[in-house]
Structure 1
């Protein structure tokens, strides 16, 4: 199959292209660096023309109140190009629990993206993943100072980017789900616990202080960012750290 991967040069996209190519598909990466812009629409028609499947892995540049507008415009443009190009399957990557945290602008934006895809006329698949292991350093930096890192005890189920890419590639190469496939890491931690594990592994002497008001994940109530019924990925956090 010919598969256009929009956002195909990023952390997940580049690995999706590699996996699909290794499986014998014609996977073509597209991004701003290749002249494709999902906001202006530049290059989109040409990128998806003749593709059997389009995988959209583009992401909002911010997590704030501007993010819904990004997903509204990008999905409108992408779906219009896909309809014009006769695409038979559109895949997006989303987040487990995204519809359960309306307090977060970015999660509302991802829910909007899902709804726009599901309401369209093109067969589709949504892959929902838990938090990427690769983002832990960024999470630590949000609420850190010289001596401490403040984190809430939010339950999370981190997944390695390579496992996310493998799942997205598998879904893209298969029949449209017209629904959601959830994927998650094999272990559940509280975020403050994961912070302590991470700092210890790095030899970082800062102290993790449990603070229910700290950072973006303070808005998350309960265990909505975990899913014990999801397809479990093989990579454990300790192995990923090593």
Structure 2
């Protein structure tokens, strides 16, 4: 099966490409660095020729409201139109658990636009909504610094390892289009502040973590449903402690 990964050189795309190649698939890990740019349309027609499945894991280079919306709207329209012309049988897109609950953020409004375009497309589709990645926890902490303190909500979060995200996407690629959303998450839910404390303890980060129920998450007020999946997610197997230990060994 020929599979094109849009955003194929990034964190998830590169891991997914390796898994799919190991499974015997023909994989095009497409990105601007290989001459394929969904935002401008450059190289899409040639890249998608003969493709059975397209997996879109590309992300906006900016989290600001207008650039993010422009990226997901323009790239989404270009990619879906090229797929329809090429006769692609399955469009798989990586999105975020809780997108519809986080719309106070312009970035998540942009992700919702991406999902709406996919739903309206004639190309059969599956949207895979993932929780936040372990690899991004440090960035969440850095974005929550106020006056030298890391101020975080104690709302639950159920993050997952990038390796588990890639494994879940590889499984979806082998399935028929769901024409719906599949949620994926890590094996355990933790308060966000406690998660960052565990990261800091493992990495020797001495910044104080202050629990603040009113602290925003990139402009969004959180509760225990904001960053956690529904009742039937597909769960990864890698625990945060195991991931930290693996990184320490590496």
Q: Could you say whether these structures have the same fold, taking a TM-score greater than 0.5 normalized by the shorter chain as the test?
A: yes
Cα offset, 1:218, TM superposition: 4.4
Cα offset, 1:214, TM superposition: 4.4
> TM-score by structure 1 length?
0.95
Residue 28 of structure 2 corresponds to which residue in structure 1? Answer: 28
Cα offset, 1:82, TM superposition: 0.6
Q: How many residue pairs end up in the alignment?
A: 242
Quick check: 223-232 or 157-166, which moved more? 223-232
In structure 2, distance between residues paired with 1:65 and 1:97: 18
Residue 237 of structure 1 corresponds to which residue in structure 2? Answer: 240
Q: 1:121–1:188: structure 2 CA closer, same or farther, 3 Å change rule? A: same
Residue 220 of structure 1 corresponds to which residue in structure 2? Answer: 222
Cα offset, 1:220, TM superposition: 2.8
Quick check: 222-231 or 148-157, which moved more? 222-231
> TM-score by structure 2 length?
0.92
Alignment of 1:1-242 (within 5 A): 1-66=1-66, 67-144=68-145, 148-211=149-212, 212-216=214-218, 218-227=220-229, 228-242=231-245
- Is the contact between residue 98 and residue 228 of structure 2 (CA under 8 Å) also seen in structure 1? yes
Cα offset, 1:152, TM superposition: 1.6
Gap regions ≥5 residues in structure 2:
246-250
Q: 1:22–1:122: structure 2 CA closer, same or farther, 3 Å change rule? A: same
Give the RMSD, CA atoms, in angstroms: 1.5
In structure 1, distance between residues paired with 2:227 and 2:205: 27
- Is the contact between residue 37 and residue 44 of structure 1 (CA under 8 Å) also seen in structure 2? yes
In structure 2, distance between residues paired with 1:145 and 1:104: 19
Q: 1:104–1:145: structure 2 CA closer, same or farther, 3 Å change rule? A: closer
Q: Which digits, 9 at most, give the CA deviation of each residue in 1:107-136, with x for residues without a partner?
A: 111111111101110101111110100001
**Runs of 4+ residues over 3 Å off in structure 1:** none
Gap regions ≥5 residues in structure 1:
none
In structure 2, distance between residues paired with 1:4 and 1:206: 42
SS at match of 1:28: strand
